[in-house]
Amino acid sequence: MGAVLLSPVYILLNIYLAVRIQHWFAVLHPIFDSYWFTGLFSILYAFAALTPLAAAFYHGKLKAWTKRISNYWLGILMYLLLCVLFIDLARILVRLLQHRDVFQPSDAFEYRVTIGSGIAAAVALSLYGIRHASRIKITRYEVTIPKSCPIPDLKIALAADLHLGYNTKLLHIQKIRNAISSIHPDLVVYAGDIFDNEFNAVPKPKKAAALFASIKTTYGSFACWGNHDIEEVILAGFTFDSQERAVSCDPRMVQFLKKADIRLLEDETVLIQNAFYLSGRLDASCKEKSGTTRLTPAELLLGLDRSKPLIVMDHQPSSLPELSEAGADLVLSGHTHDGQIFPGNLTTRIGWLNSYGKLVLGSMTSIVTSGAGIWGPAMRVGTSSEIAEIVVKFNPPR
């Protein structure tokens, strides 16, 4: 429904951008002002602009190609719009300050320089973002839990938002595996959005699962579901949920995790080595799954030995105060991507208590990772793909 409501806006913005770029070509050289070039440009632009729609309804290899093109296009489109709109608004402001007619056409030289600068900036940002998204960095945190534990310290590798799908190549999965292994973790936590809504989009699933299974740990690898770990049709980020069907994952996703030697926790808690608890919450989007209702933080942690450390995986960091009140010591999350592409990293900080990084809330610590993969636009600008290395020390109160 959201895609239908926003489609007129999307169409108008694309018309505006196509006209501005075509006009810029026309003033560069007379050959670009010809009917044949205008027609060719219009066809190519329309093809790119329509790939998000085509990707939602095609199947097989055609779907894969259109999906990949649309993911690149959405990021490039955003930066083209931002840069060209900024140039146009700046031009209008300058003319107002100079008491000039804002509707007077720009001369050819001014148009070449201003719009050309905007296009060049957008292309540079897009190329940087595409390249930067493929790099995996390790972000380190230290956390102290004021409880006694037979284990002196615990090294956790936190990975979230892998979004295994059309944006992912096997090489990127290898990079994720290598980054996690380099930490030499005691525990690996995958905090949701392991998949990107379509299991068929996972590159070489047998090899991918084998890569995850090859990671050596002391206490194992665990995961919880995220909002994209379900099979559903998506159009430009909007889903076509049906009130008549329960939200559920593709059974092949569960089998993938088993082959990857990753234990899935769905509103479940395990006691590891009689030393600490690890809980995994169902995602907020999975309120009903096979007749199961998502537990509240208090219900999830009810009856546990509070003298032992309580670690919780919760994909969306939206229940932090409730988890703190329920007795959680450490909450590991993802979901926000830290905004993924500028200026998204500025807006996410408005809507979340902890949109990225480390936050201490009472006696509880929340850590939110920007994610190891990408969703939608196939780029990162102003953020990084990462694995979080968390060293947990236990310090019983005196």
CATH number, domain at 170? 3.60.21.10
Given this model, what pLDDT does residue 290 score?
47
Domain of 63, in residue numbers: 2-132
Of 112-116, 122-126, 140-144, 362-366, the range with the lowest mean pLDDT is 112-116
- The three state secondary structure string of 268-306 is EEEEECCCEEEEECCCCCCCEECCEECCCHHHHCCCCCC
Q: Are residues 39 and 157 in the same domain?
A: no
Q: Which residues contact 187 (CB under 8 A, 6 or more apart)?
A: 154, 155, 156, 157, 217, 218, 219, 220, 221, 222, 272, 278
133 pLDDT more than 60: yes
Q: Are residues 123 and 147 in the same domain?
A: no
Split at pLDDT 50, 70, 90, the class of 252 is very high
Split at pLDDT 50, 70, 90, the class of 83 is very high
Split at pLDDT 50, 70, 90, the class of 345 is confident
Q: Are residues 301 and 333 in the same domain?
A: yes
Of 132, 148, 176, which residue constitutes the final position of a domain? 132
Task: Count other C-beta atoms under 10 Å from residue 121's C-beta.
Answer: 17
Average pLDDT over residues 370-375: 96
Task: Count other C-beta atoms under 10 Å from residue 343's C-beta.
Answer: 12
Q: Reduced to 3 states, what is the DSSP secondary structure of residue 389?
A: strand
Of 108, 132, 156, which residue constitutes the final position of a domain? 132
Q: Are residues 168 and 276 in the same domain?
A: yes
Cβ atoms 216, 250 nearer than 8 A: no
Q: Are residues 220 and 363 in the same domain?
A: yes
Q: Are residues 288 and 350 in the same domain?
A: yes
Given this model, what pLDDT does residue 96 score?
87
Of 117, 132, 147, which residue constitutes the final position of a domain? 132
To the nearest whole percent, how much of the chain has pLDDT over 70? 92
Q: Are residues 94 and 66 in the same domain?
A: yes
Q: Reduced to 3 states, what is the DSSP secondary structure of residue 167?
A: coil
The tally of domains found in the chain comes to 2
43 pLDDT more than 70: yes
Cβ atoms 310, 278 nearer than 8 A: no
Split at pLDDT 50, 70, 90, the class of 12 is very high
Pairing of strands 385-394, 153-159: antiparallel
Question: pTM for the complete prediction?
Answer: 0.90
Q: What does the pLDDT look like over 283-321, one tens digit per residue?
A: 877 655 445 678 999 999 999 999 999 999 999 999 999
Q: Are residues 44 and 123 in the same domain?
A: yes
What type of residue sits at position 227? N
Q: Are residues 232 and 335 in the same domain?
A: yes
